Amino acid sequence: MGLNAGEGGSNAGSLQVSATSYMEVSSPRLPSSGSSSRVVNLRRRKIEIEVVEGAPKGPAWHFPGTGTSQHVQVPEHELAEIQHELDQPRKLLSELPATAICGNDILSSVLYSASSVTAKAGKLMPIPLLMVSIVLFFFRFIYEEVVTAIPMNGGTYNALLNTTSKRTAALAACLSILSYVATGVVSATSGVRYLDNQVSIPIVGCTIILLGAFALLAIVGISESSRVAVVIFIHHIIVLTILFVSCVVYGIQNPHIFSDNMHTEFPEV
């Protein structure tokens, strides 16, 4: 192995080259086992190459080519149509279907709970109903605040999920499901029993059919079920109006009925 230590220079247009000298350098070698030469320390590098069996031969990457470019001009009328569609408000329920969905819960509770409370409370029936009304009146402000702060579906579960832990929200969801199922079964059974007083029908079978029909409406969607809710809501309004007018007329024509009821014994608890 040689090292070149030459140096060139130029002076007044002529090239002068100095004498060239060489120095001989021997490459280091490991001494043999029987040699007493000085041990030369060498730096070793270990390279591991993974060999994949059955790998495809050839280059792993190909140049895809220069490609092409296009300048696309979107028509103005298409942009206008897209913008008009984006500017449209979300599909929401109008006031009547929304009121019907909320009102059916209240009015149906009046229809099936009034008779059940009267059968147990007797002449004291107005007192428990008044207590329930007062409690709901105070809860109205809480409901309004929660719905305004979290305008999302989910009821109590969604409200607790955003304010407490998931375990508490899951517990509230389970209790809500039990409450909804119990309310649905009680209201459906009461309605079927009312109809059974007029026409003899199987109570259990008709109750199952009625609950299945409303479950099908819930599966179909809120838009379709809202139309049915409007029909039921109007029916509730008409029935309660007729019942109220009939009770007033009957009470005026038979005033002794009210006084006789007030002199009855208190219900047994």
| SS3 state at 9 | strand
User: What is the per-residue pLDDT for 25?
Assistant: 60
The answer to whether residue 128 sits within a structural domain is yes
H helices of 88-165, where?
Answer: 95-121, 126-149, 155-161
Task: Enumerate the β-bridge partners of residue 15.
Answer: 10
Q: Burial code of 156-183, b = ≥16 C-beta within 10 A, e = fewer? A: ebbbbbeeeeeeebeebbeeeeeeeeee
- Is 3 a residue whose pLDDT tops 50? no
Residue ranges making up the domain that contains 141:
108-149
| 216 and 254 part of one domain | no
Mean pLDDT (the chain, rounded): 78
Q: Is the pTM of this model over 0.75?
A: no
Residue 246 has pLDDT above 90, yes or no: yes
Residues recorded for the chain: 269
Question: Are residues 234 and 199 part of one domain?
Answer: no
Residue 218 lies in a domain: yes
Q: Which of 184, 203, 222 is the last residue of a domain?
A: 222
pLDDT, one tens digit per residue, over 19-60 is: 555 566 666 565 555 555 555 566 677 778 777 777 666 666
User: Is residue 31 a part of any domain in this protein?
Assistant: no
Distances (CA, A) of 107 to 78, 101, 110, 116, 239: 49, 10, 5, 15, 10
Domain end call among 222, 239, 258? 222
Q: What is the DSSP letter of 164?
A: S
| Same-domain check for residues 118 and 142 | yes
Domain membership flag for residue 53? no
Residue 86 lies in a domain: no
Q: Are 175 and 192 members of one domain?
A: yes
Domains identified in the chain, total number: 3
* 258: in domain: yes
In a domain? residue 209: yes
Per-residue pLDDT tens for 84-111?
Answer: 888 877 777 788 888 887 787 777 777 7
In terms of domains, do 180 and 192 share one? yes
How much is the average pLDDT of 123-135? Answer: 88
Co-location of 214 and 229 in the same domain: no
Q: Are residue 198 and residue 229 in the same domain, yes or no? A: no
How far apart (Å, rounded) are the C-alpha atoms in residues 252 and 142? 40
Statement to judge: residues 174 and 207 lie in one domain: yes
Residue 76 lies in a domain: no
Q: What would the mean pLDDT of 129-144 be, rounded to a whole number?
A: 85
